[in-house]
Structure 1
Amino acid sequence: MSPVIIHPKDQKQWNALKIIFEAMNVPFEQDESPYNPEFVARIRRSEEQIKAGKVTRVEKADLQSFLGLE
């Protein structure tokens, strides 16, 4: 049988999948993430802030001023 790649969205999903795989005697392995866990947490926190609307919008005409380049 060919390998299957699964992308659980969170730890809860991963734990459920592990239980299923172990119950069915399906061999599996977990690759370590190449990213620093702290960095990943910051990115996820930022994504949640975006979803919550906690963003700063800048018009193109005001961009240089916003960046302090004027």
Structure 2
Amino acid sequence: MEITIKIDNRKKEAKALIEYLKNLSFVEIDSEKPRYNKDTEKAIADALNGIGISKAKSVKDLFKKLEE
């Protein structure tokens, strides 16, 4: 079972609690919130890596490739 707890880390006590939790072996802290949902993040990564990219010399060639 997983439990998600949101902590406002602007307070001194909250920072101390986070540091304590980091030392527990059964606690995983994910402090970075992704920019987008996982599908969008994957699409961005694929585009940056050239996966699924269609290259064409002209718009006419591009439309021919897209119709295939």
Instruction: Please classify the TM superposition score into its range, dividing by the shorter chain length.
Output: 0.3 to 0.5
Q: Which has the larger radius of gyration?
A: 2
- TM (norm. structure 1) is 0.36
- TM (norm. structure 2) is 0.37
